[in-house]
Amino acid sequence: MKVGPVVVFTDVDGTLLDHFTYDFRPALPAIERLNRLAVPVVLCSSKTLGELRALQQLIGVGEAPLIAENGGVVWFPDVGESPSGEVILGPPVDELEQHLRSLEERFGFSARTIVDMSLDEVMERTGLPPEAAWRARQRKASLPFVVVGADPPWPDVEKAAEAEGLRLTRGGRFRHLLGSCDKGEAVELVLDVLTERWKTRPLSVGLGDSRNDLPLLEAVDVPIRIPNPESSAPLGDELPWAMEVEQPGPAGWREAVERWMRGDVP
């Protein structure tokens, strides 16, 4: 199936996990096969590092690197080499909150951040259990929020954020304010570190379901599009050369990985 080392980068919500139930079990046969082949599966998400570390253990994808908060935080397992632990690529949350308040005042809208929300509100908006909802609020380099009331002119808000060296992205449930880093830059960092450790650049496979995953998919050798009819920002006609599957969520994830292993690639 593979020549030389391979690494898989995957979005989480709506891709590896079901959009509504967060179930990953349909993907387990493909995950177990990747584990047997010693192929690292790097979770790449808007979720916090705490959420991803817990999910990594639950799914059983081993001690691979993690990309959290849309690329704002990268974590490397301690294998006796540098780097290990957290690498923060984005500005801190308190700085992001100041920028968000400035954007609110300038464009006349009201935002409620995940940090401001009570645990019960986070649970209601996300469907997460209490411990996972608590982890979701522990932000370090990104700020998810929802708009209360009327939306502002988002293209103008995005341009204003970009002028401050920031980005606005839209996920399945929240908009996110973060630094100029993105999933693609974090993927490149992980690939550079693995190349140094393995003394050869690995083949990279990436899976995603929304526009927020475009930088990830553009950074890998084999991009795979997972459909998500529930996404508020689905992939359009981008990356026409990417592999596509029919099923959403973890069932589509398994289908995609198994097709790639068979050599069924564009």
Q: Which residues are catalytic?
A: 11
Number of residues that this document lists for the chain: 266
Q: For residue 43, give both structure tokens.
A: 């979770």
CA-CA-CA-CA torsion sign (103, 105, 111, 117): positive
Residue 48 phi/psi, 5-degree rounding, is -75, 165
Q: Is the dihedral of CA 40, 45, 48, 51 positive or negative?
A: negative
Kind and range of the H or E run holding 167:
strand 166-170
**CA dist., res. 206 & res. 219, Å (int):** 8
Give the span between the Cα atoms of 46 and 9, in whole angstroms: 14
> Letter for the amino acid at 256?
A
Q: What are phi and psi of 82, to 5 degrees?
A: -100, 145
**C-alpha distance across the termini of the chain, in Å:** 16
